[in-house]
A and B are shown apart, each in its own frame.
Chain A
Amino acid sequence: MSNHIPVLIIVLVLGASFSIPLVARWRKTLIFPAAVTPLAISFGLSLYLFYLVGQQGAFSYHLGEWEPPWGIELYVDYLGAYMIMVLSSISLPVLVFASRDIHHDIREEVVSWYYTLYLLLIGSMMGIALTNDLFNLFVFVEISAIAACGIISIKEDRKCIEASFKYLILSALGSGCVLLAVAMIYMITGYLNFDYVAATMTEALSLYPYNILIALSLLIVGFGVKSALFPLHVWLPDAHSSAPSPSSAVLSGLVIKIYAVALVKMLFRVFPTAIYEVVPVLDIVLFLSVLAVVFGSIFAMVQDDIKRMLAYSSIAQIGYVFMGIGLFGDRALVGGLLHIFNHAMMKAMLFLAAGMIIYATGIRRIKDLKGIGVRMPLTMAAFTIGAFAMVGIPGTSGFISKWFLALGALDLGRPFYVAIILLSSLLNGIYYFPIVVNAFFGSKIEPHPEHKDVPASMLIPILLLAAGVIFFGFFPGPLLDLLEQAISF
């Protein structure tokens, strides 16, 4: 029974997603328990998955009892277990927040469809994390693209629909590039399974170098569009700022990261690593990530709307993850992968806090946020912790991942990137600290009769994530050990 856990996690979440419309027809009050219970169970199973991988090493699961070249294989190693843990642990508080928050954003009839799309998104991302088959990866990538656009456009506002359309078109572009790369790889190796492709790729490299180059570049463009690498990020500010707050939290925190992880899996498990000394692919990724880190922060500084500023900040932070990939050292990659979890926690918490402010007071512009800390102290305290973590102040988890990135850059003898990390941390501070200072020391916001109270079911997820940020800032040990074993491809 224990071996079936990988497929059972995905089946549980997907099955819950499909059964919510039936539950909604039956009894509306049961929708939220029917949605939260499978996510909670999958979180527990993901921790058990860690235990399994720790005990018996990486194992694979053959669907339908078909051996690998003929069947689809799920490969659970440390990286897969880590991503499942990240997905299930961050999506759970956001769903609890969403149960209260979305009622004022979307119509009553479509609330059950929000849960369906949310669970479909989480389930398909879990599939991306675990799969070992090229075409299976593509199918899950497409499902998550439609679900991600769905949770934006479910709020039928003008801006949401336009942003969701832009995201859909660019995402379809990315998927087309990924499918063409899969076609190229299948063409020269004849296999779709990662391990078999990797085995035949070394001899295919000498016979068909151009196909491999095209596949590599198409993969980087395709996954780069979907995970908002610098010049391909144009869909992100509109999409993440106009979406409902829990959708923004999941989109910024999880969706853009899982495509970076899919890129990591393909770059380092499918293609032979000898290729990166000949073709400067990783240098290009590094260069683009530096641009992302600097320009994302510069764009964020001039923003007026708080959610748009957080969206541009996401562009900068995903640059750190790609910097870890591009540097390709041991500690740099650990730092980049750790930043996935840290940023997911921080950005989800920041978006939820911004959503709380919008829910309670309706204020979205940064200028109008003076003195809101006095009215909503716990929310702004969480926002402050998130701001400190974004900048990378020691004591928060953001510091650990940036520290490891800097150490990794120094390991490889490239101190320029340490300077870039410091510069970007300074730029992060420039646009986060004014909000924090204004919130606590500005003039008091007049209590308005339309302002709502802060409900507990929305406050507790924010505080939980904030506690997680501080906890993993002081005790990052287990995560770091895990990731050091995850990167041994």
Chain B
Amino acid sequence: MKTSTLDASKVFYPLLERGWFCVEDIVVRSVARIIVPFIQLYGFYVIFHGHLSPGGGFAGGAIVASSMILYGLSFNLEAGSRKLRHDVSTVLESGGALWYLLIGLFGILVGGQYLTNLGAGFYRGVPGQLFSSGMIFLLSMGIGAKVASTMITLFYSLSGGEDSGGNH
């Protein structure tokens, strides 16, 4: 990753030794500033349309995370790692998984088995529309939140960002 205007050995290697680097390039920064919201929008599209088109929670969550990783790589790794604070990411991760488990419990409360979809009274709708297929829509949101938060946390802790601890 050579910088365009500065000498690599004077700027890049000392920064790399301190475990912190950013690409000091005006083109990358401008393009990233424009593109990051679109990547996030696409990621949310993939998450919400999990029951209609390929993708779902995992792929959409990874796309949303990649937008934050692009932000961190092209601007400043420390500023990027502060975008998703530790307590927010903890709530998103644990909340996503607990959301999944609690939605499954609905089926038991209504009288069917665990993780019952239409039998538990989730809204069926017309197949092919956005608000259809009962609980798959809700589960994708939980999975998407969890995967996105996990990927962002993993990237920032592996690259020596704000707090480099833990192996969740």
Q: A-side interface residues toward B, CB under 8 Å? A: 4, 7-8, 11, 14-15, 18-19, 21-22, 25, 61-65, 109-110, 113, 150, 153-154
Tell me if B113 and A63 are in contact (CB < 8 A): yes
Question: Are B114 and A7 in contact, CB atoms less than 8 angstroms apart?
Answer: yes
Q: Can you report 5 A-B residue pairs in the complex whose CB atoms are below 8 A from each other?
A: A21-B93, A22-B94, A62-B113, A65-B107, A65-B112
User: Residue on B with the closest CB to A153?
Assistant: B167
Given contacts A4-B113, A21-B90, A64-B113, contact A14 B101 (CB under 8 A): yes
Are A4 and B108 in contact, with the CB atoms below 8 A? yes
Contact B91 A113 (CB under 8 A): no
Cross-interface CB contact of A65 among B90, B105, B113, cutoff 8 Å: B113
Interface residues of B (CB under 8 A from A): 87, 90-91, 93-95, 97-98, 101-102, 104-105, 107-108, 112-117, 119, 165-168
- Complex CA gap A25/B94 in Å reads 11
Tell me the complex Cα distance, A11–B104, Å: 9
* Residues of A close to B90: CB separation below 8 A: 21-22, 25
- A7 CA / B116 CA spacing, docked (Å): 13
Q: A153 vs B168: C-alpha distance in the bound complex, in angstroms? A: 11
Are A18 and B101 in touch, CB under 8 angstroms?
yes
- Min C-beta distance of A219 to chain B, whole Å: 27
Check A64–B117 contact: CB distance below 8 A: yes
Q: Do residues A18 and B94 form an inter-chain contact, with CB atoms below 8 A? A: yes
Chain B hits for A113, CB < 8 A = 166, 168
Interchain pairs with CB closer than 8 A, number:
58
Residue of A nearest to B135 (CB): A64
Of the residues B87, B112, B114, contact of A11 by C-beta under 8 Å: B114
List, in ascending order, chain A residues with CB within 8 A of B107's CB. 64-65
Known contacts A4-B108, A64-B115, A64-B116: A15-B101 contact under CB 8 Å: yes
User: Which one of B98, B105, B112, B166 contacts A110 once the chains associate, using CB atoms below 8 Å?
Assistant: B166
Are the CB atoms of A63 and B115 closer together than 8 Å?
Answer: yes
- Asked if B91 contacts A22 (CB within 8 A), the reply is yes
In the assembled complex, which residues on chain B have CB atoms less than 8 Å from the CB atom of A18? 94, 97-98, 101
A14 to B115, CA, bound (A): 15
Residue of B nearest to A22 (CB): B94
Cα distance A113–B94 in the bound complex, in angstroms: 12
Chain B residues within an 8 Å CB radius of A61: 113-114
Asked if A64 meets B101 with Cβ closer than 8 Å, knowing A22-B90, A25-B87, A113-B166, the reply is: no
Q: With the chains together, A14 CA to B91 CA distance in Å?
A: 16
With A25-B87, A150-B167 known as contacts, the answer to whether A4 contacts B114 (CB < 8 A) is yes
- Inter-chain contacts of B91 with A (CB < 8 A): 22, 25
A22-B98 Cα distance, complex, nearest whole Å: 11
Contact A11 B105 (CB under 8 A): yes
A150 to B166, CA, bound (A): 10
A7 and B97 CA atoms in complex are apart in Å by 16
Expressed in whole angstroms, the Cα–Cα distance for A18 and B94 within the complex equals: 5
Given known A-B contacts A63-B113, A65-B119, A19 and B165 have beta carbons under 8 A apart = no
Q: Which residue of A lies closest to B117 (CB)?
A: A64
Could you say which residues of chain A place their CB within 8 Å of the CB of B116? 64-65
In the docked arrangement, what's the CA distance between A25 and B86, Å?
A: 10
Complex Cα–Cα for A159 and B131 (A): 52
Among A22, A109, A150, the residue within 8 A (CB) of B165 is: A109
In contact, B94 and A19 (Cβ under 8 angstroms): yes
Chain A residues lying within 8 Å of B94, measured Cβ to Cβ, are: 18-19, 21-22
Q: Which A residues touch B165, using CB under 8 A?
A: 109-110
A18 vs B92: C-alpha distance when bound (angstroms): 11
Q: Give the residues in chain B near A153, CB-CB below 8 Å.
A: 167
B138 to chain A, nearest CB (A): 14
Tell me, in angstroms, the Cα distance from A258 to B166 when the chains sit together.
27
Chain B residues, CB < 8 A from A14: 97, 101
How far in angstroms is the closest Cβ of chain A from B79? 23
Chain A residues lying within 8 Å of B105, measured Cβ to Cβ, are 11
Query: CA separation between A64 and B139, bound complex, in Å?
Result: 13
How distant is the Cα of A396 from the Cα of B81 in the complex, in angstroms? 56
- Shortest CB distance B55–A (Å): 20
| B82, chain A: closest CB distance, angstroms | 18
Closest 5 pairs between A and B when the two form their complex, measured CB to CB: A18-B97, A64-B115, A7-B114, A15-B101, A65-B116
A112 to B47, CA, bound (A): 30
Contact call B101/A11, Cβ cutoff below 8 A: yes
Chain A residue nearest in CB terms to B101: A15
Question: B113's closest neighbor in chain A, by CB?
Answer: A65
Cα(A113)–Cα(B166), bound, Å = 8
Alpha-carbon separation in the docked complex, A15 to B105 (Å): 11
Q: How far is the CB of A185 from chain B (nearest CB, A)?
A: 25
Q: Which residue of A lies closest to B114 (CB)?
A: A7
Give bound CA distance, A470 to B70, whole Å.
61
Residues in A with CB closer than 8 Å to B166 are: 110, 113
In the complex, chain B residues whose CB is within 8 Å of the CB of A154: 167
Rounded to whole Å, the gap between the CB of B48 and the closest CB of chain A is 21
Q: Tell me the complex Cα distance, A112–B95, Å.
A: 16
Most buried by B among A11, A19, A22, A64: A64
A153 CA to B117 CA in the complex, in Å? 39
B151 → chain A, closest Cβ, in Å? 16
Residues of B within 8 A of A62 (CB): 113
Q: Within the complex, what minimum Cβ distance (angstroms) separates A2 from chain B?
A: 12
B168 contacts across to A, CB distance below 8 A: 113
